[in-house]
Amino acid sequence: MTQAMYEEGLAYAESNFLDENAPHLHVDKRLIREKFNMDGKKVLDFGCGMGGMSLWYATNFKCEVHGIDIDRHHIKIANDLKAKHDTKNVTFEVRNVLDQPLEGKYDFIVLNDVAEHIQLPILKAIFSALSKNLAPGGGIYVSYPPWRSPYASHVQHVVGIPWCQFMPEGVLLNRIEKNNRPIVGEEESDLLQAYKGLNHLTHDKLIGTLNGSGLRPVYRKSHSFFNKFGPLKNTSLRIFPFDFLITKEFLLLKKTE
């Protein structure tokens, strides 16, 4: 990781932490404030990345936050951002829960914009592992852009076309390669790797990964462009073709009775 990449990553993570209107997180932040109270809770930020949301949980709620990620570059930036803002109630570590199972219990486990980056058989194993770390009454909160989202490709900003994941594969890969650039990350170090690592996640696929995990969905919110209009603020339009306008899916999972 070059110094320039480090500084870019630090600025990005800090924006995610401090900016309530961060482009891909403002809905997450509002929904968490409205639906969940993390005060007095123990929170696991799974796949915490560079720590922006971990620090947001830690400073907006009176909670203890444990952020884990498999990428050393991400955790380096997360720890530096923690030190910069002198945040005591958050810890970060490099950890793969399938190789190093967690021992503690958590009231909230958050997977924010991470599930779509994990291949489905591995995601299935991760949910089974994490279910063992839920405290009584605890929940796992998952947010992700579904595959039909205009932003699901994670490269539309460089390709210049929303829903570009539906372009012919060869054409799309060629456009990504022409606009490819390095990104902060040891596991995915450029945009092409990031795109190829996506699992094309949908609600049905995610539910499929819960089989045998002891988890079940108890809440779902599908946020779309229609929610910008007052009367449709809380409406989830999931039928074709409106499902192509969903930008984020939110699920709360709990242990089965």
In this prediction, residue 197 carries a pLDDT of 95
63 and 165 both lie in a single domain: no
* 58 and 171 part of one domain: no
pLDDT digits (tens, 9 = 90+) for 28-85: 999 999 989 999 999 999 999 999 999 999 999 999 999 999 999 999 999 999 999 9
Residue 154 dihedral angles phi and psi, to the nearest 5°: 65, 5
- Residue 220 tokens, joined: 């779902």
Clarify whether residues 208 and 191 are in a common domain: no
What is the domain extent for residue 142?
Answer: 3-147+199-255
Q: Which residues pair with 237 in a beta bridge?
A: none
pLDDT at res. 24: 83
Q: Is 171 found in the same domain as 81?
A: no
Question: Region 193-208: what's the mean pLDDT?
Answer: 96
* 257, pLDDT greater than 80: no
More confident residue, 227 or 65: 65
Q: Are residues 125 and 216 in the same domain?
A: yes
Return mean pLDDT, the chain.
Answer: 93
CATH code at 21? 3.40.50.150
Question: In this predicted model, what pLDDT tens digit does every residue of 126-177 receive, in sequence order?
Answer: 999 999 999 999 999 999 999 999 999 999 999 999 999 999 999 999 999 9
Tokens 């809440």 locate to 219
- Do 105 and 222 share a structural domain? yes
Same domain, 93 and 163: no
pLDDT at 1 over 90: no
Residues 79 and 13 in one domain: yes
List the Cα angle 134/141/239 in 5-degree steps.
140
pLDDT tens track for 83-123 = 999 999 999 999 999 999 999 999 999 999 999 999 999 99
| CB-based contacts of 59, cutoff 8 Å, min separation 6 | 17, 85, 87
pLDDT of residue 91: 98
Whether residues 70 and 28 share a domain: the answer is yes
- The total of structural domains in the chain comes to 2
Distance CA 56, CA 103 (A): 24
Q: Is the pLDDT of residue 229 over 90?
A: no
Instruction: Report the share of the chain in percent with pLDDT over 90.
Output: 82
pLDDT-based confidence at residue 232 (cuts at 50, 70, 90): low
* 114: number of Cβ within 10 Å: 19
Residues 56 and 69 in one domain: yes
Chain center to CA of 50: 12
> Where does the pLDDT of residue 227 fall: very low under 50, low under 70, confident under 90, or very high at 90 and above?
confident
Check whether 230 has a pLDDT greater than 80: no
Within this chain, do residues 127 and 28 fall inside the same structural domain, yes or no?
yes
pTM: 0.94
Residues 49 and 168 in one domain: no
**Concatenated DSSP letters for 56-87?**
HHHHHSS-EEEEEES-HHHHHHHHHHHHHTT-
